[in-house]
Amino acid sequence: DVKVTQSSRYLVKRTGEKVFLECVQDMDHENMFWYRQDPGLGLRLIYFSYDVKMKEKGDIPEGYSVSREKKERFSLILESASTNQTSMYLCASTTGVETQYFGPGTRLLVL
């Protein structure tokens, strides 16, 4: 079974803190994605990566950066967390353009 894990299920941070969300997949997938999910807005793409050290902006990259140093790991970084980044963050991976496999999500609260 494909497994996508995320470092935390719940996280509480303060405004201005630097926040790291980590995602690891065990299926040697080339492509990895970070989404956020907000009520009434659905899943929105923040960033994705199609190879090690490669990244592409999604639809809402502002306030975020990413890192992909190893194929299996894709990190989302909030350089200076703000309250409007309180959300559910989901990581996904896939090979090519096939089915995406999602992690369990991280619910982040920024106070």
| Site residues, another protein (CB under 8 A) | 4, 31, 33, 35, 40-45, 48, 50, 56, 58-59, 90, 97-105
**Which C-beta is closer to another protein: that of 64 or that of 101?**
101
Bridge partners for 52 per DSSP? none
Query: Which one, 28 or 59, has the nearer CB to another protein?
Result: 59
Residue 111 CA to residue 14 CA, distance in Å, equals 5
Block residue for tokens 């790291």:
20
Centre a 10 Å sphere on the Cβ of residue 64 and count the other Cβ atoms it contains.
20
Nearer to another protein, 43 or 111 (CB): 43
